[in-house]
Structure formats: structure tokens, C-alpha cells
């Protein structure tokens, strides 16, 4: 299988108000008098005028905010295409383009609530009384020309009976894992809790023998402290005294056995590769090793990330392997350690997304797009499916725990649950269905 990219690249646009604006009741009315004696063609002319007005209104409605009798608010905007991304189609649907729709009745008819005990406390925005917690999950993604169906938990359990699904990556993959667990738990309470293949946490839905597990790993690759040898070496000769050794061709032990256990694997990495608190580029740099030898000359993390393909190829043949793209952060006014915050209560407008994430603007949160560029390069030619959630998520500055996360600083990285990672799983289920059809 060649790489397929599902990627909500969207549009979405929002007025910053706490509730949908009321439907306009006023408007211009055209009164035509039918004078058959003077204007024999007037009925035809009236029809043409009416058709023209209808056409204009139809076209203009595509770029305006509107509401319906079902209290559904459509918020749409179109951002300029970014060369970082490429679109992908499954059948006639392009999941890379679409709009966000505010629909208060939507999410809670299909998903779980804050009572799911697996939700990490810092992500439980309803329990922590985040002011917009109830609104976060009421936005749904609408691709142009088709619909992204919500994950049906009972159907998912039945379709993937006798299947093992492993999430491998950092805490953002745990965010997605918990979302899936809570969704499935809503319809199946006969669950066994265990840690398969050295997982950080895992569950088997006994009636369907479906196991889902989360394997925590920061870099995917094995890494540990490195100190200079008194006898010298290639790195020592270059002046390195300490750092972190990263073996790009050796998987982290936390998921090494997962590759042979799971039928479906969802990987992510990226956030830890540029973590100055851990991998200081001067005091404790990342030093890459391959085949037990240092990579000389030493390379920067962005190049090292390209080499992660060696780790990903350790997954067993025949398994379905997906790589989830970067989850965007939404720090404004500075980074996480510089007083940055995420206080928005509504999704962003396209121009705001461009300001925060554009590579050209070098915004505070540009990391997501830069990492994706390297991930695409590393995965090129592989049999991985790409689950692209980045641009879709860039608009959702409203969906982080923020000050309700319980940290000393705003949590503008992880996501509230219920929340946007539920939409990631909707996309995940859609991707799996398409892969299954093709194979």
C-alpha cells in the first residue's frame, strides 16, 4: 500500500460569540405588479429575476454564517493552501477540505461524557469547570461533498472483533486512545483491564475480543543518557561531553513487542524532538546512533526525525500501520514557558490560523507544520497510511484544557475530553474502512 493522506485541511470560521447568532428575519422584498397590457413579457421577466436572486443568495450563503430551524450554525472560511500539505481522496470525498459546523445536538447523541474514568483528570474539562467545556464537543467536521460519519461504537466493536489495536507515541496519542476507549465503553461495559505487550495501559472488550492499548514512548526510538568516554571517540573528538544517545534503528522497549502483537498500529512522534528542557541543543544534545555507531557528522533533530523510518519498519508484516500527523499547539503571547496562553472560547478564523501556524510567518506554533514536513519525507515510499489531523485541529484553539488543566501554565497542547480527538477517531474509523475495502 502506498501512503494515503487523510487530512482535514479545512476551512472554518467563526464569529467570537458564545452562542449562535439568531437567524435574520428582515430583508429586502421585491414587489412586482403584473401589468399584462403594458408588459406582456413581465411574467417571464419576473421569473428570471426571482431565479437570479435565488442563485445569488445560494452562492453567497456558502461564505456566510447561517442557522436553520434545527439550531445548526455553519461557520466556514477558506484558508489559502499551504505547500506543506497535499490533499487526499477516498472515492469521491476529499477529507482535506471542509468546514466546521456548530450543532448542539450532535456530539452527545453519539459520544461519552465526563464520567468515563479513564479520562486523565487534567483533560476532563467538564469536571474541571472550563467555561466552554460543553460547547467544545458540539462542533463537527463536514468535508466538502460528503459527510464524515461519527464513529459507531457498536459497529466498530463488531467490525474489529478479534483484533488488537495499539496506539504508540507520546501523551497526544494517549489523548486519542482514551477518546476511543470511552466511546466504546459507552456500549460495552464487559471490559478487562491489562497491559498487553508492555503497554502503559490497555483494555479488552471481552464480548468482541477487541483489545486497544497505549504504549508510551517519547521518540519511538530507544534513547538514554550519553557521557563522554575517557578513552575518547568520534564524538569526543568533536568536543561533545554529554547528551542523549538516540538509536534510530532500535525501537523503544515500551513498544518493541507491540509490533508483533497488534493488528493495527497508530504511531505519533514529534513533540519531544524539540524539548529544550530535556534535549538542550548545547548542554544535552540528541546524538544519533545507527548500527551501534554514532552518525558523523552529528545531525540536527529534524534530520534525525527522518531516520525514524527504521524504527517504524519493525512492525510485523501484514499489520495495518498508520502514522498520525502532528497535533498543533495553540500558545499565544509566548511559548508554554514564556507566559503563553490559550483563552479562546471559539475556534479560530482562517487568517488567525495563518498567523499562528504559517511557516513563512514563523509563528509560535509553527512546530506542527515543520515536523510534518519531515514525517512525510521519512514515510515516503512506505506502506504507512497517514492520518492527517493537523490542519483540522489548527482551528480548534478553543478545545484545550488551558487553565483548567491543573498545571502551573496553560495547557495549550493536550485536548479536552470529550473533544476534538473524538473527531480524530471518526477519521480513524473512516480510514480503516477504506483500507479494508481496498485490501
Backbone angles phi, psi at 421, to 5 degrees: -65, -15
Rounded Cα gap, residues 18 and 7, in angstroms: 28
Residues of the chain with pLDDT below 50 are 1-88
Query: Cell match 467536521: residue?
Result: 141
Q: Residue 279 has what pLDDT?
A: 92
Rounded Cα gap, residues 242 and 10, in angstroms: 44
Rounded Cα gap, residues 45 and 204, in angstroms: 68
pTM of the model: 0.80
| Tally of residues, the chain | 439
Q: Residue 38 has what pLDDT?
A: 39
DSSP state of 21: P
Contact partners, residue 436, CB within 8 Å, separation at least 6:
none
Whether the Cβ atoms of residue 200 and residue 215 lie closer than 8 Å to each other:
yes
Selection from 325, 308, 312, 311 nearest residue 371 by Cα: 325
Amino acid at each position: 500500500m502506498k501512503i494515503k493522506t487523510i487530512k482535514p485541511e479545512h476551512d472554518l470560521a467563526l464569529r467570537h460569540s458564545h452562542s449562535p447568532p439568531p437567524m435574520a428575519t428582515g430583508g429586502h422584498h421585491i414587489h412586482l405588479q403584473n401589468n399584462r397590457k403594458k408588459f406582456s413579457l413581465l411574467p417571464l421577466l419576473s421569473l428570471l429575476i426571482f431565479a437570479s436572486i435565488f442563485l445569488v443568495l445560494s452562492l453567497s450563503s456558502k461564505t456566510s454564517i447561517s442557522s436553520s430551524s434545527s439550531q445548526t450554525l455553519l461557520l466556514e472560511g477558506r484558508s489559502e493552501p499551504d505547500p506543506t500539505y497535499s490533499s487526499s481522496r477516498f472515492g469521491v470525498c476529499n477529507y482535506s477540505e471542509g468546514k466546521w459546523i456548530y450543532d448542539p445536538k450532535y456530539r452527545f447523541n453519539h459520544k461519552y461524557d465526563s464520567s468515563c474514568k479513564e479520562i486523565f483528570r487534567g483533560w476532563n474539562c467538564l469536571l474541571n469547570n472550563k467555561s466552554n467545556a460543553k460547547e467544545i464537543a458540539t462542533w463537527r467536521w463536514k468535508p466538502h461533498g460528503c459527510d464524515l460519519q461519527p464513529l459507531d461504537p457498536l459497529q466498530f466493536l463488531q467490525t474489529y472483533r478479534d483484533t488488537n489495536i495499539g496506539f504508540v507515541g507520546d501523551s497526544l496519542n494517549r489523548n486519542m486512545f482514551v477518546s476511543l476507549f470511552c466511546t466504546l465503553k459507552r456500549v460495552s461495559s464487559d471490559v478487562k483491564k491489562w497491559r498487553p505487550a508492555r503497554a502503559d495501559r490497555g483494555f479488552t472488550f471481552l464480548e468482541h475480543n477487541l483489545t486497544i492499548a497505549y504504549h508510551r514512548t517519547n521518540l519511538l526510538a530507544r534513547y538514554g543518557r550519553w557521557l563522554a568516554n575517557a578513552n575518547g571517540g568520534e564524538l569526543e573528538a568533536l568536543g561533545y561531553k554529554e547528551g542523549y544517545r538516540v538509536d534510530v534503528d532500535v525501537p523503544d522497549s515500551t513498544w518493541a513487542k507491540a509490533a508483533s502483537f497488534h493488528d493495527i498500529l497508530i504511531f505519533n512522534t514529534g513533540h519531544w524532538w524539540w524539548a529544550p528542557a530535556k534535549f538542550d541543543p548545547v548542554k544535552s544534545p540528541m546524538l544519533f546512533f545507527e548500527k551501534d555507531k554514532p552518525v558523523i557528522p552529528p545531525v540536527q533533530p529534524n534530520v534525525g526525525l527522518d531516520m525514524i523510518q527504521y524504527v517504524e519498519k519493525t512492525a510485523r508484516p501484514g499489520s495495518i500501520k498508520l502514522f498520525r500527523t502532528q497535533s498543533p499547539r495553540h500558545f499565544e503571547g509566548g511559548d508554554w514557558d514564556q507566559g503563553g496562553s490559550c483563552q479562546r472560547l471559539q475556534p479560530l478564523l482562517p487568517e488567525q490560523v495563518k498567523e499562528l501556524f504559517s511557516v513563512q510567518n514563523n509563528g509560535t506554533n509553527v512546530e506542527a507544520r515543520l515536523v510534518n514536513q519531515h514525517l512525510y519525507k521519512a514515510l515516503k515510499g512506505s506502506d504507512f497510511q497517514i492520518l492527517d489531523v493537523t490542519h483540522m485541529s489548527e482551528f480548534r484553539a478553543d478545545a484545550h484544557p488551558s487553565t483548567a488543566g491543573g498545571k502551573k501554565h496553560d495547557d495549550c497542547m493536550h485536548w479536552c475530553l470529550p473533544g476534538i480527538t473524538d473527531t480524530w477517531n471518526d477519521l480513524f474509523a473512516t480510514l480503516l474502512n477504506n483500507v479494508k475495502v481496498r485490501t
